[in-house]
Structures are given as C-alpha cells and as structure tokens.
C-alpha cells in the first residue's frame, strides 16, 4: 500500500465524530522515504483550512528549526498528527478519536519506515511513550519500542507560548538531526 492509497481510505473514515465538522482531512505530508517521522496531536484551524499539517505559526517555527539543522518535509521528514481531523476549538483529541485514527498513523509509519519518530508535545508523547511521560523532563531521551526509535520534544505551539523553551527545542532538533 502507498501513502496515497492510505489517504484515499482515510478520507472515507467515519470512525469518530470529527469527520462531521472538518473542512479538510489533514493526512500528513513529507518525504515517503523520510528518516524522521514527526507526530503532532491534531490539526488546528489553518491546517483544517489547507488540508496540510503544521502550516500556521507553529508550523513556520517547526520548519525554521528543522531547516536550520538540514531537515525539511520535502527531503527527509514526514509530518502527521494523532488525529486527521480538527478537534473543535483546538481541544486535545479524545481517546476514542485517537483510537479511530491510530491505525492510519501506524500504517503511515510502516510505509515511511523512518529511522526516528519524534513526538511533538504531550498528546503524542503520552500515547507512544507512556501516559506518565513528561515532555518538560524527558524531552530528547531516545526509546526503542518494537524495533523503532522514539523520542519527544516540546510542541512548537508550546514554544510560542513560552519562548524561553526555544533553545531546548532547537537543541533537541539538532540532536535528532545527528541521529539519522
């Protein structure tokens, strides 16, 4: 199966209520042969309008930091979210919404077959690295799960709310760039 075939399947999903209020499916984007797979939580308003992940202010920050360290969604990064449809008012995705979408995300990871998976923020980190995972304390640590390397760092939106964490975020991305 290709990413395009999976996207077509995902577009017809009615596994949770989010499909009813979305403008666009936000499937994911990047290199199908990416070394790094980045997982956010869910699309925001800009992403829902454009059908692309991380295109608002936090996406601009993410792209800026990735590019600074030789990474980009066109060459060696693939970006997706825990859920493919925007939760109302940018709330965290509910458990049933994540469960409805996880099969698509896991299949995306399988198809891309990255060397490193980076969880951005608490929502994706707690799903993959454990519900007690604390991004503020455990960011940048590398874990091997089922033969894959996982890590986590701050979500770019959290950096925009607290710019003092930007050097930590940049240092994490620099470290990750050297692992692939």
Nearest to 119 by CA among 67, 86, 88, 158: 158
Q: Answer yes or no: pTM beyond 0.75.
A: yes
Residue of 84, 103, 74, 3 whose CA lies nearest to 40: 84
Span 60-74, mean pLDDT? 97
Q: What is the pLDDT of residues 120-131, one digit of tens each?
A: 999 999 999 999
Give one word for 12, left, alpha or beta, with left for phi > 0 and alpha for psi -120 to 50: alpha
Give pLDDT, residue 90: 85
Q: State the Cα–Cα distance between residues 152 and 147, nearest whole angstrom.
A: 17
């Amino acid at each position: 199966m290709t990413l395009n075939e999976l996207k077509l399947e995902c577009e017809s999903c009615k596994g949770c209520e989010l499909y009813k209020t979305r403008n666009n499916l936000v499937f994911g984007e990047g290199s199908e042969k990416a070394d790094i797979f980045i997982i956010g939580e869910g699309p925001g308003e800009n992403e829902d309008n454009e059908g692309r992940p991380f295109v608002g202010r936090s996406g601009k920050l993410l792209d800026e930091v990735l590019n600074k360290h030789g990474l980009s969604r066109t060459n060696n990064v693939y970006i997706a979210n825990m859920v493919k449809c925007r939760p109302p008012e940018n709330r965290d995705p509910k458990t049933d919404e994540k469960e409805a979408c996880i099969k698509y995300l896991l299949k995306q990871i399988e198809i891309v077959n990255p060397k490193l998976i980076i969880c951005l923020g608490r929502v994706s980190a707690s799903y993959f690295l454990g519900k007690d995972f604390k991004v503020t304390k455990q960011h940048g640590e590398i874990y091997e799960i089922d033969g894959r390397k996982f890590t986590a760092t701050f979500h770019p939106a959290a950096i925009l709310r607290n710019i003092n964490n930007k050097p930590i975020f940049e240092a994490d991305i620099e470290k990750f760039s050297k692992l692939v």
